[in-house]
Amino acid sequence: MQPDLPDIPALQRLRTRSPLVHCMTNDVVQTFTANVLLALGASPAMVIDAGEAPEFAAIADALLINVGTLTETRAQAMRGAIEHAVAANKPWTLDPVAVGALSLRTRFCQQILSLQPAVIRGNASEILALAGVNSGGRGVDATDTADSALPGARTLARQSCAIVVVTGEVDYVTDGERTCSVPGGDPLMTRVVGTGCALSAVVAACTTLPGDRLENVATACGVMKRAGAEAASQSAGPGSFVAAFIDALWREGRA
């Protein structure tokens, strides 16, 4: 395991570069995801139609594929976008929401794994399912711990040549050989929808940074956990947590 990493320069770089992040994400988390990226200085765009998503994927700096509200039509648009991103040498990140629990999305994610994702970010049940390990996942929430999913995450990283992030009480970031652990955050982060989905978007933004990708992805996890802990300490419950969380992200990486 690697020790805690200095992440402020990476955050400052994110604000300076303001990467354009093409988000093909689920209907539940669109606005929250865009606001999280904006608070950190990145530039979100939710372009989803099959007629223009491939074109945009080649222009944007990074692509996020989140299958939370997948349909057959969206799957087609996503596949086209991924192919164009890969052809243009742009990194793409996969959030395999509820994979393992449902067959269309499980099949789709297994297929697109061969298209060289830079990063796969999921909760423990999703990562175990994608790694081919039976898990108790039955919906969008994890029923396994991140610790128990770490061996599966390492196997998935080696199989897919992607960096794999498994989130929970501790986040683990692995390339199959090196692993960073990122503690912190707050359980309140799981009582509002989309903190994991938004983290995947921040991870996608961080794949555009120069330097060690594993460290940059761990930085994304650390930033979200730090903001989550700060927001939880300032809020009365899930409603005010959301506003405090966006505000805490806004302060991250500022002098």
Ligand X SMILES: Nc1ncnc2c1ncn2[C@@H]1O[C@H](COP(=O)(O)OP(=O)(O)OP(=O)(O)O)[C@@H](O)[C@H]1O
Residue 208 marked as a ligand binder: no
CB nearest ligand Cc1ncsc1CCO: which residue? 68
User: How many Å apart are CA 84 and CA 66, to the nearest integer?
Assistant: 17
Q: Residues 144, 175, 186, 215: which binds ligand X (CB under 6 A)?
A: 186
User: How many Å apart are CA 214 and CA 202, to the nearest integer?
Assistant: 14
Shortest approach of Mg ion to residue 195 CB, angstroms? Answer: 9
> Residue 98, class by beta-carbon neighbours within 10 Å (0-12 exposed, 13-18 middle, 19+ buried)?
buried
> Residue 252, class by beta-carbon neighbours within 10 Å (0-12 exposed, 13-18 middle, 19+ buried)?
buried
Helix, strand or coil, per DSSP, at residue 104? helix
Tokens standing for 109?
């994610």
Shortest approach of ligand Cc1ncsc1CCO to residue 34 CB, angstroms? Answer: 15
Residue 95-134 contact track with Mg ion, rule CB under 5 A, x = bound: --x-------------------------------------
Q: Is 26 in the site for ligand Cc1ncsc1CCO (CB under 6 A)?
A: yes
Q: Is 29 in the site for ligand Cc1ncsc1CCO (CB under 6 A)?
A: yes
Q: Note the Cα 111 to chain centre separation in Å.
A: 19
Q: Is 123 in the site for ligand X (CB under 6 A)?
A: yes
Residue 32-61 contact track with ligand Cc1ncsc1CCO, rule CB under 6 A, x = bound: ------------------------------
